A and B are shown apart, each in its own frame.
Chain A
Amino acid sequence: MRDTTQSSDTERESAVRVSGLRLAYDDFLVLDGLEFDIRRGEIFAIMGGSGCGKSTLLKHLIGLRDPAAGSIFFGGEDFVKASESDRRRIQRRFGVLYQQGALWSSMTLAENVALPLETYTRLKAARIRQIVAFKLALVGLAGFEAFYPAQISGGMRKRAALARAIALDPDILFFDEPSAGLDPVTSRRLDRTILQLRESLGTTVVLVTHELESLFALADRALFLDAEQKRSTALGSPTDLRNNPPNEAVAAFLRREAE
């Protein structure tokens, strides 16, 4: 069980706290010395150029990979050191939207959204159908329950995956490059849906992106990762970082310039 008495004030404020995190693939170091916290209810962007380790960091945050060193705290609980059953309990509070949607291809959209509900609740089938229809309607896919992922467009797949991600009313939503492969109009529509969901559900959102439009439209704060230095080089509100960039790499990135 979670021991809230041991949590400090900062931990109660933080949805996620990362401390001394080192990420590596075998002996290939990706990122080191990561220290940051994600506040409850904020939209937190992880930014950086291609290959800087954004998606790798996300994989570690959601427990798909174990870090080489350091800790990740969710509400005061150390996710890295937690037992398997505790990790699964913490993971149930996550919703993840993968880069390509990652909908289960052998299931209809309704079945995709229903599976987490069937796994973790004792709701009757009729109630699950009702929730599924509502979640699909929230992302603008009412009436698409019986469609398979292969039968709908890329943008619709992303939205259906978002409906699945919010199936269990998660505390934290993780988005891996939500705009990847989408045209600008669909991409902005998805940004708007994310913003509306955050405002309605109060969910903490962690967003991996290199899209500046999404960054300025959505993020309260952004963490910049640097592939050369293998660490984070800036943390702050996107507008502040653009107006007062802490280093040339961040300035160039936000000005869309090659160094």
Chain B
Amino acid sequence: MPTGEQASFSVEASGEGGHRVALSGAWTLGAVLPPVDRVLAALRAAGAEQACVDSGGVERYDSVLPAFLFELAAAGERAGIKLTEDGLPGDVTRLLGIARSVPARDDGKRSGPSGIVGRFGHAIMEGFRSAADLLRFFGRGIAATGELLTGRSAMRMRDLTDIFVGVTVAALPIVSLISLLVGLIIAFLGAVVLRQFAAEFAVAYLVGYGMLREMGAVMTGVIMAGRTGAGFAAEIGSMRVNEEIDALETFGIRPFGFLVLPRVIALSIAMPLLTVYANVVGIFGGYLVSDFMIGVPAPIFFEEMVRVVGVKDFWLGVFKGYVFGIVVALSGCLRGLQCGSGAGAVGIAATRAVVLGITLIIICNAIIDWAAATLGI
């Protein structure tokens, strides 16, 4: 807490060609302190090669004084100025003695990239590494699937069913709410625009096409990335922190087959089902706006929708759900297995899983849409 007290110094030439740094005032936690660099700059300006720090003029002090002297001596050594101390109180001398009794380890410092260019380059390299990790992880997924098909996998069927039930049932309320609102929003926006062309009946087309081909799968994918993907990362990350993954590995049980595969399979089954459910709820939301706001009744709404929206639109959405399920599960499990040590690392793993999951959903969606447009689906 600032007290308004002032700590100050002055550099003077002393006899025998040396210099003296005289400290005065209050050297306490609440005082305004001079930076070490300024003291060194003053010594350099005076042409000092060695100097004695005299704290005889210090009125009050706490641990700030030895901390300052500790850093000043180390900085002086790096700058080629030898500093000695004079007139220190006994307790400060003792504290400095303890701090200097074990020399700092040179190899204890980890160097990282410095400067904007260095950090930018480092971030780009991290991005490439992350992409390579994901590809490698995907490859391991294919190999693990091969092991499963040949009966060599460590996966337990009970884990698969538990995870499937857990992710599907628990996600229903949030998927219901979000899908209903998305259906309402699409219909509402459509109504506003289409009314200008007296084409309100086409709201059914917009809702059906939008939900089945895009929004049903994408919104369910985003929900599952935030809910289940993060959950997978946190769960596996905690297992990494608690050495449970190490225990699996030393028993020769591959974590991929045991932990990742049941989650990927469970979500790749759950996501298409949830997507179909989200489509139904979203279309119902669109119908509510259509009937109660624009006055297009149910028979016309659904007749219009069935006329223009085909089975291929339905299956395209289901296929997207399947792909997004794999992507979300792989993202969560990858970030979980990459989790560092400590409780904080679990939170970071969960956050990174969500970011990776949503990013990949958007990328995969764009690729599938492009492929569908090219193939005329």
Q: Name A's B-contacting residues (CB within 8 A).
A: 28-29, 59, 62-64, 88-89, 91-92, 94, 96, 98-100, 102-105, 115-116, 119-120, 164
10 CB-based A-B contacts, threshold 8 Å = A29-B107, A62-B250, A96-B246, A96-B250, A98-B246, A102-B244, A103-B247, A104-B239, A115-B251, A119-B154
Pair B253/A115 contact, Cβ less than 8 Å: yes
Q: In the bound complex, do residue A102 and residue B252 qualify as a contact, i.e. CB atoms below 8 Å apart?
A: no
B250 contacts across to A, CB distance below 8 A? 62-64, 91, 94, 96
The answer to whether A102 and B251 touch across the interface, beta carbons within 8 angstroms, is no
Q: Which residues of B contact A88 (CB under 8 A)?
A: 252
Q: Majority SS of interface residues in chain A?
A: mixed
Q: Does B249 contact A (CB under 8 A)?
A: yes
Given A91-B250, A119-B253; A98-B243 close (CB under 8 Å)? yes
Q: Which residues of A contact B242 (CB under 8 A)?
A: 100, 102, 105
CB B332 to nearest CB in A, in angstroms, measures 16
The interface residues of chain B lying within 8 Å CB-to-CB of A28 are 107, 110
Interface size class of B (residues with CB under 8 A): 10 to 19
Are the C-beta atoms of B107 and A105 separated by less than 8 Å? no
Which residues from chain A contact B246 at a C-beta distance below 8 Å?
Answer: 59, 64, 96, 98, 102
Knowing A102-B242, A105-B242 are in contact, say whether A96-B247 is a contact too (CB < 8 A): yes
Chain A residue at minimum C-beta to C-beta distance from B246: A64
Residue pair B107, A102 in contact (C-beta under 8 Å): no
Q: Which of A63, A115, A164 has the most CB of B within 10 A?
A: A115
Q: How many A-B residue pairs have CB under 8 A?
A: 53
Cα-based distance from A151 to B328 in the complex (angstroms)? 32
B224-253 residues with Cβ-Cβ distance < 8 A to A are: 238-239, 242-244, 246-253
Which of B154, B249, B250 is packed against the most chain A CB atoms within 10 Å? B250
Contact of A100 among B110, B243, B251, B252 (CB under 8 A): B243
Give A164 to B110 CA distance when docked, in angstroms.
38
B252 touches A104 (CB 8 A): no
Of B110, B154, B243, B253, which contacts A102 at CB under 8 A? B243
Give the distance in Å from the alpha carbon of A120 to the alpha carbon of B243 in the complex. 21
B249 contacts A105, C-beta separation under 8 Å: no
User: What residues of chain B lie closer than 8 Å to A94, measured between beta carbons?
Assistant: 250
> Chain B nearest CB: distance from A78 CB in Å?
18
Residues in A neighbouring B248, C-beta threshold 8 A: 104
CA distance A120 to B50 in the complex (A): 71
Contact A92 B252 (CB under 8 A): yes
Most chain A beta carbons < 10 A, residue from B110, B239, B242, B249: B242
CB distance from A49 to the nearest CB of B (A): 12
Q: Could you tell me if A105 and B239 are in contact, using CB atoms closer than 8 angstroms?
A: yes
Residue of A92, A98, A102 most packed against chain B (CB within 10 A): A102
B residues in contact with A103, CB < 8 Å: 244, 247
Q: Using Cβ atoms and an 8 Å threshold, which residues of chain B touch A115?
A: 251, 253
Please determine whether A104 and B251 come into contact, CB atoms closer than 8 angstroms: no
Q: In the complex, what distance in Å separates the CA atom of A254 from the CA atom of B153? A: 48
Q: Which residues of B contact A59 (CB under 8 A)?
A: 246
* B53 CB, min distance to chain A CBs, angstroms: 29
Q: Which residues of B contact A96 (CB under 8 A)?
A: 246-247, 250
What are the residues of chain B within 8 A of A62 when measuring CB–CB?
250
Could you say which residues of chain A place their CB within 8 Å of the CB of B247? 96, 98, 102-104, 164
In the complex, the answer to whether B107 meets A104 with C-beta atoms within 8 Å is no
Given contacts A28-B107, A29-B107, A92-B252, are A104 and B244 in contact (CB under 8 A)? yes
On chain A, the residues within 8 Å of B249 by CB distance are 63-64, 91
